[in-house]
Amino acid sequence: MSGVENKLYPEVSAGGYCRVDHRMEYIVRVNSLLNTEMTVLEYGAGHGKWQNDPVILRRNLGNFVGRCAKVVACDVDPAVRRNPQANVLLLLEPSGRLPVADASFDLISAFSVFEHVEDAESVAAELTRVLKPGGWVCAWTPNKWGYVGIGARLVPRRLHKVVLSLVERHREEEDSFLPVYRMNTRSKLRQLFPETHFRHYSYTYDGQPFYHADSVLLARLWQFVFWVTPPPFKAFYMVFLQKNA
């Protein structure tokens, strides 16, 4: 975290994360669903999203190996072949079809993936196919109608990197695929994962301010904006869907 976050959230010095950390909010809840008998799919896993996390607890919670029966990591990006946080690595074809049998997984985790999906209907159908009855689809993704999603769509793609370098100077990760926001609203999630087949426990969340250009004043302004923002317009979706048994 930058000095700004440390000033706003002094508890960062006690463990490395703040009380409203959006990544921690997601990964703790996923871990609360995990058990030693599960087969887990890390969907869109890349080279291992959590392995270089600067917060030791988040890094440990993000690695499911040894805490469930099997972890399968998949991605269309060849970087998945370097992923150390899985028992099985799958490089997907452009079609995105998973080379596994129906009802293969107890839990699917997709962190920062849904916003990049072009063919939302096909991906949702495939996730539904490979998930066991009673199993969970878990995802963290920007809300299409939150400030992150709206900002990403308003700023021309050619300027994304420039703008981010100005307002989020300590940004460490870089998306290989540009966001398209086709699985990122409450109504769309209910369309893709209908209530006839899924129970919905998703919610929106803001987390800590990032786009503050190292200004405490601007960061505090963001905190106020988060405080007055209604739930449908908060920054991120915490997606938790349970397939009917």
In tens, the pLDDT along 130-186 reads 999 999 999 999 999 998 888 777 766 665 555 455 445 454 555 556 789 999 999
Q: Which residues contact residue 99 at a Cβ distance below 8 angstroms, ignoring those fewer than 6 apart?
A: 90
pLDDT at 212: 80
pLDDT for the residue 179: 86
Q: Using CA atoms, how far apart are residues 25 and 242, in angstroms rounded to an integer?
A: 18
- Give the phi and the psi of residue 64 in degrees, each rounded to 5: -85, -10
- 110's enclosing H/E stretch is strand 105-111
**What pLDDT, on the 0 to 100 scale, is given for residue 137?**
98
pLDDT exceeding 90 applies to what percent of the chain? 80
Please tell me the class of the 3-243 domain.
alpha beta
Sequence length of the chain is 245
Report the pLDDT value the prediction gives residue 166, as an integer from 0 to 100: 46
Q: What is the pLDDT of residue 211?
A: 81
Q: Going by DSSP bridges, is the β-strand pair 131-142/198-200 parallel, antiparallel, or unpaired? A: unpaired
pTM of the model: 0.91
| Mean pLDDT of all residues in 209-218 | 87
Pairing mode, strands 39-43 and 70-75: parallel
